[in-house]
Amino acid sequence: MHISVNVDGVTYADEVEPRLLLVHYLRERLGKTGTVVGCDTGNCGACTVHLDGHSIKSCSLFAVQANGREITTIEGLARDGKLHPVQQAFHSNHALQCGFCTPGMIMQAIDLLADEPDPDDETVRKGLEGNLCRCTGYQNIVRAVQDAAQRMKPGAGPEIEQRTPHAVGGE
């Protein structure tokens, strides 16, 4: 099947097998290896990307289902050589150990902050519950998301687009 997708600001047109998962298309065809293959069942969240501005688990979507849509991967977040505020907050707050879950956590955190720009600990933990980390115990991740919320407030730096909350949190 023929698809056309915009990934990280670049339009790609390809022929794909109908059963090709989006995560494999991104990694194998486009070289977007920051999108990690974790569980292949949608349980761990390592493969989280944004589809039309909302987080999805790319192992649970066929590439053909993304036809005509806009995808943002972890590689597409930095602008003009500067990390996205969430990436910078994860770095500054040591919110990673092995780093395997980090791209998915960051993508989900951005989606969470678009819906809830000033989350408390419980809101962060609930908003990230579909993304698993086997190393950290989550405290630094929660701290990083809250730090990112402060970095993203108007006047704190480059403006980040806010959007209307959606009903499907992280799925």
Taking 90 as the threshold, does the pLDDT of residue 165 lie above it?
no
Domain boundaries, position 95: 85-151
Tens-place pLDDT, residues 16-72: 999 999 999 999 999 999 999 998 788 999 999 999 999 999 999 999 999 999 999
The per-residue pLDDT for 157 is: 59
Q: Do 70 and 92 have their domain in common?
A: no
- Three state DSSP letters for 22-59: HHHHHHHHCCCCCCCCCCCCCCCCCCEEEECCEEEEHH
Domain identity same for 92 and 67: no
Same domain, 58 and 95: no
- Checking if the pLDDT of 171 tops 80, the result is no
pLDDT the model gives residue 161: 46
HEC string for the chain: CEEEEEECCEEEEEECCCCCEHHHHHHHHCCCCCCCCCCCCCCCCCCEEEECCEEEEHHHCEHHHHCCCEEECHHHCCECCECCHHHHHHHHCCCCCCCCCHHHHHHHHHHHHHHCCCCCHHHHHHHCCCCCCCCCCCHHHHHHHHHHHHHCCCCCCCCCCCCCCCCCCCC
Q: What is the CATH classification number for the domain harbouring 129?
A: 1.10.150.120
Number of domains in the chain: 2
Cβ distance 45 to 54 under 8 Å?
Answer: no
In a domain, 162, yes or no: no
